[in-house]
């Protein structure tokens, strides 16, 4: 068995229905030298997962636990860690998410994957990409409310020289005879025109590269940082629907990470305020027309019937128990029971698998006083 590092969320493995499954989260953003102990922390979490399995189940996970041992001893695996890791596995396969936000280290064995810690990372307002664009190169960052981090991109993709190489536009020359063996060379289009052609080629490459490798897999907003002239040219040709209208019109090279993060946060706060107000209005209108609810039992039934378009959950709230996705019923439980999960997490997983949206909000941002709410499909 091998593991795959995944960007897609949710992943088809989450919908297989294999039971039980293992979810392990490791906070890898530990300061050196303690960071070197990440493999040990992972090893201890694996032991917790093993202790939660019954003897009969343990045998079926033999290959997965062998893979966990290989991961524990793989120095390159831990050197490539981000803020945290999510490692999900069943008897047949294992996937790994490198998360740009901090999560609490934990190991859970239950009938469905524990995904709520990942939702904040993948929902649009909490996690975003930042593209710093110059005429002949770009740099890329991922950012959230806690910080901004550079994403390494090879020069063959991030610089005009690497992208165009020998394909740079050459001056156009024509030859006219002036008698005898003499010829006169006429240039058509000066250096300025050639630079403009090359810049457009490069910008089209940047747009396609970011769209295919980052925006489509992560589905999060993209903020453009660059001089006004570069912003205008790039926006004329972009096909990236995740690029937001509000850009930061400065030379990215003139910004340190702290000042860049502050500017990015200001843009995202304004975007989130606007989006949050729209969300509140949508829920209020839906609730008034019986097309939304903040009642747990009603929402459970609506999820089972595939009616939930958007599920709102309060951050850090846990409802211990089991949720039946076919019947929409809830069985209360105790979180101390290793086989009892979080009802809200189970609901979120079902909503996502059926094409719905899940938002994790702080208490003051919830559209109702309840810690759960939903808007139904029309």
Asked if the bond preceding 330 is cis, omega within 30° of 0, the reply is: no
Q: What is the per-residue pLDDT for 43?
A: 96
What does the alpha-carbon distance between residue 27 and residue 353 come to, in Å, rounded to a whole number?
26
Residue 260 predicted with pLDDT over 70? yes
**pLDDT value, residue 337:** 62
* pLDDT, tens digit (0-9, with 9 covering 90-100), for 314-372: 987 888 888 999 999 998 877 556 566 789 998 998 998 888 989 888 888 899 999 99
pLDDT average, residue stretch 7-30: 83
Instruction: Assess contact for 100 and 120: CB atoms under 8 A.
Output: no
Tell me the mean pLDDT in the region 147-173. Answer: 82
Specify the higher pLDDT residue, 35 or 18.
Answer: 18
Among candidates 255, 374, 360, 246, which has minimal Cα distance to 313? 360
pLDDT value, residue 49? 92
Identify whether the C-beta of residue 107 lies closer than 8 Å to the C-beta of residue 18: no
- For residue 112, what pLDDT band results from cuts at 50, 70 and 90? confident
Three-point CA angle 83, 27, 320, nearest 5°: 125
Opening angle at CA 107, ends 103 and 111, nearest 5: 115
Residue of 216 and 171 predicted with greater confidence: 216
- Each residue of 190-249: pLDDT tens digit? 556 778 889 999 999 999 999 999 999 888 899 999 999 999 999 999 999 999 999 999
**What is the total residue count of the chain?**
378
Per-residue confidence band for 33, with pLDDT thresholds at 50, 70 and 90: low
**pLDDT score, position 219:** 85
The DSSP string of 194-206 is HHHHHHHHHHHHH
**Burial of 247 (C-beta count, 10 Å sphere; 0-12/13-18/19+):** buried
* Mean pLDDT of all residues in 243-266: 94
Pick from 354, 221, 364: which is nearest to 280 by CA?
364
Confidence at residue 74, expressed as pLDDT on a 0 to 100 scale: 93
Who wins on pLDDT, 303 or 180?
303
pLDDT at residue 175 in the model: 47
Instruction: Say whether 89 sits in a helix, a strand or coil.
Output: strand
- What is the distance between the alpha carbons of residues 242 and 372, in angstroms, rounded to a whole number? 28
pLDDT of residue 34: 57
Which long-range contacts (C-beta less than 8 Å, at least 24 apart) are formed by 262-267?
Answer: 263/225, 264/128, 264/130, 264/143, 264/148, 264/223, 264/225, 265/145, 267/223
Cα separation values, 284 from 214, 278, 361, 366, 369, Å: 34, 10, 16, 12, 13
Tokens of 168: 């740079």
Q: What values do phi and psi take at 55, rounded to 5?
A: -55, -45
Percent of the chain whose pLDDT exceeds 70:
88
Threshold 0.75, pTM exceeds:
no
Question: E strands, the chain, where?
Answer: 3-5, 21-27, 84-89, 94-99, 106-110, 127-133, 138-144, 147-151, 172-177, 183-188, 222-225, 292-293, 308-314, 320-323, 330-332, 341-342, 357-361, 372-376
pLDDT value of position 46: 96
The position carrying tokens 């860049």 is: 260
Specify the pLDDT at position 268. 85
């Amino acid at each position: 068995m091998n593991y795959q590092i995944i960007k897609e969320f949710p992943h088809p493995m989450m919908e297989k229905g294999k039971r039980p499954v293992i979810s392990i989260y490791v906070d890898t953003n530990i300061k050196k030298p303690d960071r070197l102990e990440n493999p040990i922390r992972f090893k201890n979490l694996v032991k917790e997962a093993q202790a939660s399995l019954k003897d009969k189940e343990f045998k079926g996970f033999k290959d997965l636990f062998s893979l966990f041992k290989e991961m524990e001893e793989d120095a390159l695996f831990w050197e490539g860690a981000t803020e945290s890791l999510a490692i999900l596995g069943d008897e047949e396969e294992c996937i790994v998410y490198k998360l740009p936000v901090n999560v609490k280290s934990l190991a859970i064995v239950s009938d469905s994957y524990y995904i709520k810690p990942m939702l904040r990372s993948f929902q649009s307002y909490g996690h975003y990409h930042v593209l710093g664009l110059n005429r002949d190169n770009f740099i890329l960052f991922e950012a959230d409310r806690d910080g901004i981090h550079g994403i390494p991109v090879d020069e063959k993709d991030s610089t005009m020289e690497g992208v165009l190489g020998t394909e740079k536009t050459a001056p156009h020359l024509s030859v006219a005879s002036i008698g005898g063996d003499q010829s006169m060379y006429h240039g058509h289009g000066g250096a300025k025109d050639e630079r403009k052609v090359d810049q457009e080629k490069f910008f089209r490459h940047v747009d396609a590269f970011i769209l295919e490798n980052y925006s489509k897999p992560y589905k999060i907003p993209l903020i453009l940082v660059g001089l006004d002239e570069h912003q205008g040219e790039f926006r004329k040709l972009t096909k990236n629907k995740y690029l937001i209208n509000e850009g930061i019109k400065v030379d990215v090279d003139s910004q340190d990470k702290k000042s860049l993060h502050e500017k990015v946060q200001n843009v995202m706060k304004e975007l989130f305020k606007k989006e949050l107000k729209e969300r509140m209005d949508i829920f209020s209108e839906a609730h008034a027309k019986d097309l939304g609810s903040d009642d747990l039992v009603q929402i459970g039934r609506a999820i089972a019937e595939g009616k939930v378009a958007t599920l709102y959950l309060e951050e850090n709230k846990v409802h211990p128990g089991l949720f039946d996705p076919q019947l929409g019923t809830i069985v209360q439980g105790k979180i101390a029971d290793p086989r009892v999960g979080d009802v809200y997490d189970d609901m979120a997983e079902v909503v996502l698998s059926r094409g719905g949206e899940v938002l994790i909000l702080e208490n003051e941002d919830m559209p109702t006083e309840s810690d759960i709410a939903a808007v139904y499909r029309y």
